[in-house]
A and B are shown apart, each in its own frame.
Chain A
Amino acid sequence: MHREFLMGNEAIAMGAVAAGVNLVSGYPGTPSSEVLETVSKHRPESTYVEWSVNEKSALEVAAGAAYTGARSLVTMKQVGLNVASDPLMSLAYIGVKGGMVVLVADDPGPISSQTEQDTRHYAAFSKLPCFDPTSAQEAYEMIQEAFVYSERYSTPVFFRPTTRVCHGYASITVKDPSEYTEHHPEGFQKDSSKWVIFPRLSYQNHKLIEERNVRLAEDFSAYGRNHIFYETDGIFKQRGIASGGISFTYVMETLTQTGPLRLLKVATPHPFPEKLALEFLTGLDEVLCIEELDPVIERELTYLCGKYHLPTKIYGKLTHHVPNAGENTQDSVRQNILDFLKDSPEDVLPASASTYGGHAFPDNPPALPVRPPVLCAGCPHRASFYAVKAAMKGRKTIFCGDIGCYTLGNAMPLDMVDTCLCMGAGLGIAQGVGHIEPDTACFAFVGDSTFFASAIPGVVNAVYNQADMTLIILDNSTTAMTGHQPHPGTGRTMMGDIVEQINIEAVLRGIGLKTVETIDPLNHEAAVACVKQTAGKPGVKAIIFRSPCIAVTRPSGSMHVASGKCINCRKCIRELGCPALTIENGTISIDASLCTGCGLCSQLCPADAIHVDTDVEHISHDTEASKGGNGHE
């Protein structure tokens, strides 16, 4: 054992490695991406790791490995589970041989996601066990236990951290490599009565699953991470708090220690540890449930009170005692607890709650700047959007966006994203609009990683069903928003192999597109001409704007405004909204620390005032800005 300062996701990864995981697959998505990346960095030679093309493939690959008796882990963010839900629901009936953990990171807030969906519902829906860690240290240990439970019950299990657990760092105790479990898969045993899903088998297995979950709930009541912290000083004898996930740590911070009232920590929201929860409820008049996303613990406790005719009142999101959307914070939880205890007959609050620090400053600060996220300076997506905008000026258009950095094309002044729904949806939406409004020029924008992940069926659909639309592929040769993961178009795998690149143009031609143009968006004039010419053609046509992400290439230099030449018309600022273009003392200036020398602004300057700055030695860009992300892309 030794101590390391690890991010929650790194802790989960190291826990999986310590459990002898044999295969890890996944699709990038904030806040889950670092798990697979960390395994890939620290894996023993025999462990296989891949970024799959999407979550459905990833889950199927992990299932195949688990069929052989291997320990497998599949990682994704919550909306990714929607993509993987088809194999998941069936796999729940079939089960596994080796331990299989389905890691799905939820994102209360949401901070970097399209939805605030709660994977604990998916656990109940698919009837699979679910582990819900509260901290990096617990996540490290819990994922090892999750593999054991998975094998004991021959079922895949969910592991569901949330953003603050995934991205929180802590100095935690981890095993030395000599303490790691080695897991040797026995191999796949042919048995069509077990591995081939048929209605008859599903019926039989359904009965077994229901019986198993009763046993699992019993087992989970004895699982040490589900725990009752009994009141010791009994100030609030008839009250209790039930919590799970990161919210549990906020509760503990508020109470500073256990003692004044009874606490239930729920580590396995499904199957719910009913026996333990009943013990917790016994003798309590009121219980406050503090959890994020949906009121899962609250509903379970409310159900138990009905089932066992208990007089306990259960409070939470359903009763509007806790906000029902957005993430909890240290401060919101403190307030919820204060409100819950306020009218107590004893009228005593925990010491920490009453000695809470006040405001250190007056409440009237100057108006703060608004800082929505923007496309980076030099981002080729800006040039692509600008070229399409210029080419289609005055035409009736719809620009259907997608998930990735390029969703930021919605911001002013580009204003080039009219719709955005989920991965790959832009294609279908463009087709649907086109069938109803034939006079609208319909565009779908999709990134290179998203193209492979989920856009190809949309292209096939468009071609087959005779749609009239222009597909714009924003190919920056990486999965930028989530931290630059490789994908099938990059020619690199997560195992470090150099493989043949899957050529997007060839894929499109293979599907049957007659017009597929590839062009550098940073050559503005040529890009505009290309869009004008291509969009005018009938049927489905595609333009691939190819220019690498600025975070994965060396900047070519920096631009400079010749102050004598600049007529201060501000067209560059007004049209592009590039963060490197600023106004200093009333004149246009270019921030050399941000500018990559893409030269787009110089191409639209009517006074020819912007040139490459030959004096500035360029500084390589901070890679921090390029880490992280939204989407699944």
Chain B
Amino acid sequence: MNKNIVLCGVGGQGTVLASKLIAAAAMKKDIPVMSAETIGMAQRGGSVFSHIRMGEGLYSPMIAKGTADIIIGFEPGEAVRQLPYLKPGGQVIVSRRAIMPVTATLSGTPYSGDEMTAYLEEHIPHLLAVDTARACQEIGSPKVLNILLLGAAIHSGALGLTEEDLKEAIRERLPERFHELNFRALSYVRSQV
């Protein structure tokens, strides 16, 4: 079972860790995995992405347009930006919380995350939009954004991984003091979707 996954967001949101957790979960199941991500200047608040590919017969870590099984958008505008990578009938997971670019704040150019989410709702049949702002508040930490989105991706079924797979990756990759918080985020998102 081959999977192409695109994670996208704004530099600093935690996409890199999320892609490492997916890869670790796949490794645990002996699935070959490749990934590629933005490293460099764009990480300073620019648009960032990770491509993750799982399965046999892969040569390149990069995903071709129109072939992603799932896009996990950490920010609604960034999810829309990466849509050309989605395959027909593909799944999109998106955080509803917009991040205002400095240029938009400065120039007064309107940028509305709700408009992006509405566009996704209109055009993407398989969409899970997560109210991450509320979720983070209720869980009591803004750091669980990536786990909330990964949890939602798991429950959509499009990731091909289980919650237990992800938990194991968390146990393996993160310091113990963060385990409980992240597991709480996972059960929160399970109760919501």
**Residues of chain B contacted by A413 (CB below 8 angstroms):** 106
Q: Which of A353-385 contact B (CB under 8 A)?
A: 356-362, 365-366, 368-376
Are A373 and B45 in contact, with the CB atoms below 8 A?
A: yes
Indicate if B143 sits at the interface (CB-CB under 8 A). Answer: yes
Q: What 1/0 mask marks residues of chain A from 401 to 415 whose CB sits below 8 Å from any chain B CB? A: 000010010011100
Are A249 and B101 in contact, with the CB atoms below 8 A?
A: no
Binds B, one of A120-128, A165-173, A289-297, A423-431: A165-173
Q: What 1/0 mask marks residues of chain A from 546 to 584 whose CB sits below 8 Å from any chain B CB? A: 000000000000000000000000000110011101110
Are A360 and B40 in contact, with the CB atoms below 8 A?
A: no
Q: How far is the CB of A538 from chain B (nearest CB, A)?
A: 37
Q: How far is the CB of B189 from chain A (nearest CB, A)?
A: 19
A31 to B36 CA separation, bound complex (whole angstroms): 13
Q: How far is the CB of B169 from chain A (nearest CB, A)?
A: 11
Partner of A252, one of B17, B24, B59: B59
**Residues of chain A contacted by B171 (CB below 8 angstroms):** none
A20 to B65 CA separation, bound complex (whole angstroms): 41
Are B142 and A360 in contact, with the CB atoms below 8 A?
A: no
Report, as a range, how many residues of chain B touch the other chain: 35 or more
Known: A366-B115, A369-B101, A376-B45. A360 touches B12 (CB 8 A): no
Q: Which of B56-70 contact A (CB under 8 A)?
A: 57-67
Are A573 and B40 in contact, with the CB atoms below 8 A?
A: no
Q: What 1/0 mask marks residues of chain B from 26 to 44 whose CB sits below 8 Å from any chain A CB? A: 1100001111111111111
A356 to B14 CA separation, bound complex (whole angstroms): 31
Are A112 and B62 in contact, with the CB atoms below 8 A?
A: no
A358 to B67 CA separation, bound complex (whole angstroms): 8
Are A619 and B34 in contact, with the CB atoms below 8 A?
A: no
Partner of B12, one of A573, A578, A581, A624: A624
Are B105 and A581 in contact, with the CB atoms below 8 A?
A: yes
Known: A359-B84, A360-B88, A369-B77. A169 touches B35 (CB 8 A): yes
Are A5 and B41 in contact, with the CB atoms below 8 A?
A: no
Q: How far is the CB of B54 from chain A (nearest CB, A)?
A: 9
Known: A30-B39, A169-B36, A582-B105. A373 touches B64 (CB 8 A): no
A331 to B101 CA separation, bound complex (whole angstroms): 28
Known: A358-B88, A360-B89, A360-B90. A167 touches B44 (CB 8 A): no
Partner of A167, one of B37, B45, B87, B90: B37
**Residues of chain B contacted by A41 (CB below 8 angstroms):** none
Partner of A373, one of B44, B83, B105: B44
Known: A171-B32, A373-B45, A624-B14. A361 touches B124 (CB 8 A): yes
Indicate if A135 sits at the interface (CB-CB under 8 A). Answer: yes
Are A357 and B88 in contact, with the CB atoms below 8 A?
A: yes
Indicate if B23 sits at the interface (CB-CB under 8 A). Answer: yes
Indicate if B103 sits at the interface (CB-CB under 8 A). Answer: yes
Partner of B101, one of A168, A371, A376, A574: A371
A413 to B36 CA separation, bound complex (whole angstroms): 33
Partner of B44, one of A5, A375, A622: A375
A376 to B60 CA separation, bound complex (whole angstroms): 32
- Judged by DSSP, the binding face of A is loop
A578 to B102 CA separation, bound complex (whole angstroms): 7
Are B27 and A372 in contact, with the CB atoms below 8 A?
A: no
Closest residue of chain B to A379 (Cβ to Cβ) is: B44
Q: How far is the CB of B83 from chain A (nearest CB, A)?
A: 5
Closest residue of chain B to A594 (Cβ to Cβ) is: B12
**Residues of chain B contacted by A593 (CB below 8 angstroms):** 142
Known: A357-B88, A366-B115. A170 touches B44 (CB 8 A): no
Partner of A619, one of B12, B41, B123, B142: B142
Are A371 and B88 in contact, with the CB atoms below 8 A?
A: no
Indicate if A157 sits at the interface (CB-CB under 8 A). Answer: no
Known: A5-B23, A573-B106. A362 touches B66 (CB 8 A): no
| A contact residues, total (Cβ < 8 Å) | 67
Q: How far is the CB of B173 from chain A (nearest CB, A)?
A: 10
Are A371 and B84 in contact, with the CB atoms below 8 A?
A: no
Indicate if B7 sits at the interface (CB-CB under 8 A). Answer: no
Q: How far is the CB of A112 from chain B (nearest CB, A)?
A: 3
**Residues of chain A contacted by B90 (CB below 8 angstroms):** 360
Are A628 and B40 in contact, with the CB atoms below 8 A?
A: yes
Q: How far is the CB of A365 from chain B (nearest CB, A)?
A: 5
Are A408 and B60 in contact, with the CB atoms below 8 A?
A: no
Known: A169-B23, A360-B83, A625-B11. A330 touches B105 (CB 8 A): no
Known: A30-B40, A374-B45, A577-B102. A360 touches B17 (CB 8 A): no
For A408, A579, A626, the residue with the greatest tally of chain B CB atoms inside 10 Å of its CB is A579
Are A331 and B111 in contact, with the CB atoms below 8 A?
A: no
Are B39 and A167 in contact, with the CB atoms below 8 A?
A: yes
Closest residue of chain A to B81 (Cβ to Cβ) is: A368
Indicate if A111 sits at the interface (CB-CB under 8 A). Answer: yes
Indicate if B10 sits at the interface (CB-CB under 8 A). Answer: yes
Closest residue of chain B to A481 (Cβ to Cβ) is: B41
Indicate if A627 sits at the interface (CB-CB under 8 A). Answer: yes
Indicate if B100 sits at the interface (CB-CB under 8 A). Answer: yes
A520 to B63 CA separation, bound complex (whole angstroms): 46
Are A330 and B62 in contact, with the CB atoms below 8 A?
A: yes
Indicate if A246 sits at the interface (CB-CB under 8 A). Answer: yes
**Residues of chain A contacted by B124 (CB below 8 angstroms):** 360-361
Q: How far is the CB of A528 from chain B (nearest CB, A)?
A: 22
Closest residue of chain A to B107 (Cβ to Cβ) is: A412
Q: What 1/0 mask marks residues of chain B from 140 to 152 whose CB sits below 8 Å from any chain A CB? A: 0111000000000
Indicate if B16 sits at the interface (CB-CB under 8 A). Answer: yes
**Residues of chain A contacted by B42 (CB below 8 angstroms):** 111, 373
Are B105 and A622 in contact, with the CB atoms below 8 A?
A: no
Indicate if A115 sits at the interface (CB-CB under 8 A). Answer: no
**Residues of chain B contacted by A405 (CB below 8 angstroms):** 44
Are A627 and B105 in contact, with the CB atoms below 8 A?
A: no
Q: How far is the CB of A285 from chain B (nearest CB, A)?
A: 27
Q: List 18 A-B contacts (CB under 8 A).
A: A30-B40, A111-B41, A168-B61, A246-B62, A253-B58, A331-B64, A357-B87, A358-B66, A360-B89, A361-B123, A373-B42, A412-B103, A578-B102, A624-B16, A625-B12, A627-B16, A628-B38, A628-B39
Minimum-distance CB pairs A-B, first 6: A625-B12, A112-B40, A357-B66, A249-B60, A168-B61, A330-B64
Apart from the given pairs A164-B60, A356-B66, 16 other A-B contacts in the complex at a CB distance below 8 Å: A3-B27, A135-B59, A169-B33, A170-B33, A360-B124, A371-B10, A412-B103, A412-B106, A413-B106, A577-B102, A577-B105, A579-B45, A619-B141, A619-B142, A621-B12, A624-B43
